[in-house]
Amino acid sequence: MKTLKGPAIFLTQFMADEEPFDSIESMARWASGLGFVGIQVPIGNPAFIDVARAAESRDYCDDLRGRVGAHGIEITELSTHLEGQLVAVHPAYDGLFDGFAPEALRGRPAARTEWAIEQVKLAAAASRNLGLDAHATFSGALLWPMMYPWPQRPAGLVDTGFGELARRWRPILDAFDEHGVDCCFEIHPGEDLHDGVTFERFLAAVNDHSRANILYDPSHFVLQQLDYLAFLDIYRERIRMFHVKDAEFRPSGRSGVYGGYQDWIDRPGRFRSPGDGSVDFRGIFSKLAAYDFDGWAVLEWECCLKHQEDGAREGAAFIRDHIIRVTERAFDDFAAVGTDHAANRKVLGL
């Protein structure tokens, strides 16, 4: 068994234009002061990382690691959630997702897709130069508007959608393989990879590519009413990253899983700070320890009630208290009896 690393924090929800949230060094110092030892870094802000330069220069990456390390912090993984989303966008969402791309690409979906693919590939090379072995991303979605089976879907539509998704991602996965990095898809509503069945469908379409893996976040399974503990049992061989994010589901006679177009505060399913929701994190950390998961426990803070800085401060302690330092010997070793094959046969009366 292996002990998880952490606590770490995903920076996306905290980055801002004012100190200490406006640069990677000041955020490393801030995170260290809260008790974190790692940061997960999105690639889109040059004040945090120049991904093109990182993909080309190990000297740049060594310097970046040194500046962060001066505060007792490691970079745990890079993230291309926004860029991965743009690898596959249904036309219904073009306008909504255009803001994720540079202004020159807005209104140009084909060019935007090519840019996104290149950005994710750059992140694979940057991860290698930073000495990282896993990367966080989204799959994007061509089929999400057809998630509910009404109107009736034409025969073969889902197969066509997953075939195209695989066509776009296969060269990216090959790039990750070239650099020795796992590409970990966050299983997430709004993505074509939003549960176990859809992940399996994608995996089959990319011929079980060894670099197609999972970022496990139980909060998204609570909102779908999916068994997040059983998910660990089924997909443990593909789970290479872990977001610690809590959620709760409070159905009523007026609203359920779909949420009634309500704001987060009013939805039956809503995200909460760790410990304020219903996720069984003791069960999750126990299973991850038993399954030899040796990656990072990374706080992804999203809560419709609590202030983000309180959530971060409490989250560091929450993760630290849940990480299980695995035992190096069996608890009943004191009763062990030395024996051999002949003695074993004698015990069995053979």
Q: What share of the chain is helix, strand, coil (3-state, %, to 5)?
A: 45, 15, 40
CATH level 3 topology of 5-347: TIM Barrel (3.20.20)
pLDDT over 90 at 330, yes or no: no
Query: CA 265 → CA 14, 247, 259, distances in Å?
Result: 20, 12, 11
CB 29 within 8 A of CB 69: no
Query: Quick check: 335 pLDDT over 60?
Result: no
Under 8 Å CB-to-CB from 335, ≥6 apart: which residues?
Answer: none
258 three-class SS: coil
Span 231-288, pLDDT tens digits:
999 999 999 999 999 999 999 999 999 999 999 999 999 999 999 999 999 999 999 9
Is residue 346 predicted with pLDDT exceeding 70? yes
- What is the per-residue pLDDT for 328? 75
Length of the chain: 350
**Average confidence (pLDDT) over 100-124:** 97
Cα dihedral 95, 99, 101, 106 sign:
positive
Residue spans of alpha helices (H) in the chain: 24-34, 51-56, 58-69, 81-85, 94-97, 109-129, 157-179, 196-205, 219-224, 228-235, 281-290, 308-322, 341-347
Average pLDDT of the residues of the chain: 96
| 44 vs 120: CA distance, rounded Å | 11
337: pLDDT confidence band, cut at 50, 70 and 90? Answer: low
Residue 260, token pair as written in the block: 């009634």
pTM: 0.95
Nearest to 34 by CA among 8, 62, 68, 16: 8
Taking the domains of the chain in order of start, what are their residue ranges?
5-347
The radius of gyration computed from the CA coordinates of the chain, to the nearest angstrom, equals 22
Q: For position 129, what pLDDT does the model report?
A: 98
- Name the token pair of 210: 């060894």
**Angle formed by the axes of helices 157-179 and 196-205, to 10°?**
70
Q: What's the count of helices (H) and strands (E) in the chain, helices before strands?
A: 13, 10
Can you tell me the distance from the alpha carbon of 272 to that of 257, in angstroms, rounded to the nearest whole number? 16
What was the pLDDT predicted at 255? 98
pLDDT digits (tens, 9 = 90+) for 272-327: 999 999 999 999 999 999 999 999 999 999 999 999 999 999 999 999 999 999 97
Q: Please determine, for residue 334, whether its predicted confidence score (pLDDT) is greater than 60.
A: no
Evaluate whether 128 touches 179 at the Cβ level (below 8 Å). Answer: yes
Place of tokens 């310097």: 63
The whole-number average pLDDT for the span 149-175 is: 97
Q: What are the distances in angstroms from CA 180 to CA 129, 156, 183, 197, 228?
A: 11, 35, 10, 26, 28
pLDDT single digits (tens) 42-80: 999 999 999 999 999 999 999 999 999 999 999 999 999
Burial of 248 (0-12, 13-18, 19+ CB in 10 A): middle
Q: Is residue 123 within 8 Å of residue 83, measured between CB atoms?
A: yes
Q: Which pairing describes strands 246-249 and 269-272: parallel, antiparallel, or unpaired? A: antiparallel
Instruction: Compute the distance between CA of residue 232 and CA of residue 239 in angstroms, rounded to an integer.
Output: 8
Residue 346's identity, in one-letter code, is K
